[in-house]
Amino acid sequence: MAELTQNEKRLLATLVKEHKADAPHLATLLDTTPESIVQWAHLLEDKGLVSLERIVDKSFVYTDEGKEYLNHGLPETQLLKFCRNTTPLDELRKHAAFRIGFGQLRKKGLISVHNGMVSRTDGASTIEDETALKTPLAGGQRTNELIRRGILQEKESVRNSVTIKPEGLALAQQGLDMREETGTLTRDQILSGAWKTLNLRRYDATKLPKKVYPGKIHPYQRIIAEMREILLEMGFEELYGGIVQQSFWNFDALFQPQDHPAREMQDTFYLRETLPLPPGYEKVKAMHESGGETSSTGWGGVWTEEKAEQCVLRTHTTSVSIQHLAKNPNPPVKAFCIGRVYRRETIDTTHLAEFEQLEGIVMDEGVTFGNLLGILREFYHRMGFEGVRFKPSYYPYTEPSLDAEVFVEGIGWIEMGGAGVFREEVTAPLGINYPVLAWGLGVSRIAMLRLGLKDLRYLHRSDVAFLRETPALRPAKGGI
């Protein structure tokens, strides 16, 4: 048995005496409004203790026009009285009731008109309409006609009648706690000890109140934060760098030839701005043209300063890590960067012109390609992916290069990102004398899988309802 509120108890107690009563009557007895009685009765009805009956009473009221006719008769009645056996139409026209009455008489077939003369039909009478006007409840169809003419108005009044059920009676007989209920506990009640005797109102625990939404970080930010945590735990230093980079650091320093397709206008966002080349850039130039002092042949051709000076929106965070390495050539360097990168792609559900990239680098004496695979296994295992495998790939600035794939239950092997050892053509001109292991991955790919998104744009143009409903903790299974 659900708990009863104080008001429900009062109503039930009253009904023990009244058995069955209308809401207004009960309202008078309980010193409240009929609306409140109905509300409490509803609650009691839900609990099977009373039955609530809705009775609709019909009544009629007269409009101003109707009141007039009640005193003087309907216009057709007035006109019919005035009408002799045959009366000239022109004469009838002078009567005040002509405008409405004439039409009504013709419609009801009580008169006929021939050559400007009006004659009454046999037994013409409006007595039934007059009766309906006086006693509309019994008027049937004629009453409806009077309503339609705007003479009468129908009024419905609803009456609620409450009847106690045997279950209600039984409960009341067990005795009801009729002490006054307390809603909000006050400071005085707490301090004075009055709370000890209070009857605190009980709430229905099955009824959810109006929802509140906490402020929280974006689910995508949470995934970024998780990756960041993992890398910090693995002993990596975090890097931050500008989204605007010189082509030199975005491409040339990474041994991307100046005629490489990825450097073309249709793949990269170029800016009009230029920046002066860093000191020592000539070594990079020599590397491109002839392989510098290494065993490399270089790309051949001519390397131009103008192309290297032009600024771009960074196409990868490697532009940030390479500058960090150039500034910190002494081992060990273990660093990572998570940041937005830009590709001039047509935007659709799986491609965006800007997205987050994660990149990690390790530079140390004696580190190997094998260690790189070890880092990747460790990182992806910590991200929750049990199966990790590698296959050869190609990146212009790494050799050997690879792509890492992880196994996702129900989907299969998914490519997660690329990795490799920086080419000597990259490291030598910058004075980096130790191997550099590097890897990167698209953060949004994992976000899309984890959040079950069909459209990547949703990460950046989100529905507030989606953000409110996505819980902070989403138990991940197998990395997803």
Partner 1 sequence: MAIITLPYKYLERLTRTDKKTILDKVALIGSDVERIEEDHADVEFFPDRPDLFSPEGVARAMRGFLGIETGLPAYPVKPSGISFSVDPDLANIRPVLGAAVIRGVKFDDESIQSIMSLQESLHWAVGRGRSKVAIGIHDLDTVKPPFRYIASPRSRKFIPLDYTEEMTMDEILERHPKGRDYARIVRDFPLFPLIVDKDDHVLSFPPIINGERTRVTIDTKNILLDTTGTDKRAVGVAVNIICTAMAEAGAKIESIGIGGVQTPTLAPSERTVSVKECSRLLGIELTPVQMAELLGRMRFGAEPAGAAQVKVRVPCYRADVMHDWDIFEDVAIAYGYDKIMDPPPATFTVGKPHPVQVYAALAREAFCGLGYLEVMPFTLTSEEILYKKMRRPEREGVLHVMHPISIDNTVVRTDLLPLLLEFLTLNRHREIPQRLFTVGDVVDSCHTYQQAAGVSTHMDADFSEAYAAADAVLHELSIASTVKESEDPAFIGGRRADIMVNGNRIGIFGEIHPAVLNAFELEHPVAAFEFDLRAVPGYPEL
CB of 65 or CB of 345, closer to partner 1: 345
Q: How far is the CB of 435 from partner 1 (least distance, A)?
A: 7
**Contacts of partner 1 in 24-53 (CB under 8 A):** none
**Contacts of partner 1 in 287-316 (CB under 8 A):** 291, 294-301, 311, 313
Q: How far is the CB of 457 from partner 1 (least distance, A)?
A: 9
Q: How distant is the alpha carbon of residue 244 from its chain centre?
A: 35
CA angle 281, 284, 285 (to 5 degrees): 90
- Residue 276 interacts with partner 1 (CB under 8 A)? no
User: Rounded distance, CA 27 to CA 38, Å?
Assistant: 9
**Contact (Cβ atoms closer than 8 angstroms) between residue 3 and residue 204:** yes
User: Rounded distance, CA 290 to CA 280, Å?
Assistant: 16
- Residue 278 interacts with partner 1 (CB under 8 A)? no
Distance set, CA 436 to CA 105, 283, 345, 364 (Å): 108, 19, 30, 7
- Residue 269 interacts with partner 1 (CB under 8 A)? yes
C-beta neighbour count of 183 within 10 angstroms: 9
User: Rounded distance, CA 270 to CA 263, Å?
Assistant: 9
Binding segment toward partner 1, per CB under 8 A, in 107-115, 130-138, 196-204, 464-472: 464-472
- Residue 346 interacts with partner 1 (CB under 8 A)? yes
**Contacts of partner 1 in 186-245 (CB under 8 A):** 213-218, 220-221, 225, 228, 231-244
User: Rounded distance, CA 467 to CA 159, Å?
Assistant: 47
**Contact (Cβ atoms closer than 8 angstroms) between residue 290 and residue 298:** yes
Binding mask 385-424 for partner 1 (x = CB under 8 A): ----xxxxxx-x--xxxx------------------x-xx
Binding mask 321-340 for partner 1 (x = CB under 8 A): ----------xx-x----xx
**Contacts of partner 1 in 72-101 (CB under 8 A):** none
Total residue count of the chain as it appears in this document: 480
The single residue among 16, 100, 275, 326 that binds partner 1, judged by CB under 8 A, is 275
CB of 214 or CB of 410, closer to partner 1: 214
Please provide the DSSP assignment of 280-321 as one string: THHHHHHHHHH-TTSS-----S---HHHHHEEEE-SSTHHHH
**Contacts of partner 1 in 135-174 (CB under 8 A):** none
- Residue 68 interacts with partner 1 (CB under 8 A)? no
CB of 281 or CB of 355, closer to partner 1: 355
**Contact (Cβ atoms closer than 8 angstroms) between residue 223 and residue 447:** yes
User: Rounded distance, CA 336 to CA 170, Å?
Assistant: 74
- Residue 351 interacts with partner 1 (CB under 8 A)? no
The single residue among 116, 261, 412, 452 that binds partner 1, judged by CB under 8 A, is 261
Q: How far is the CB of 349 from partner 1 (least distance, A)?
A: 15
User: Rounded distance, CA 413 to CA 418, Å?
Assistant: 15
CB of 104 or CB of 268, closer to partner 1: 268
Size of the site for partner 1 (CB under 8 A): 96
CB of 239 or CB of 446, closer to partner 1: 239
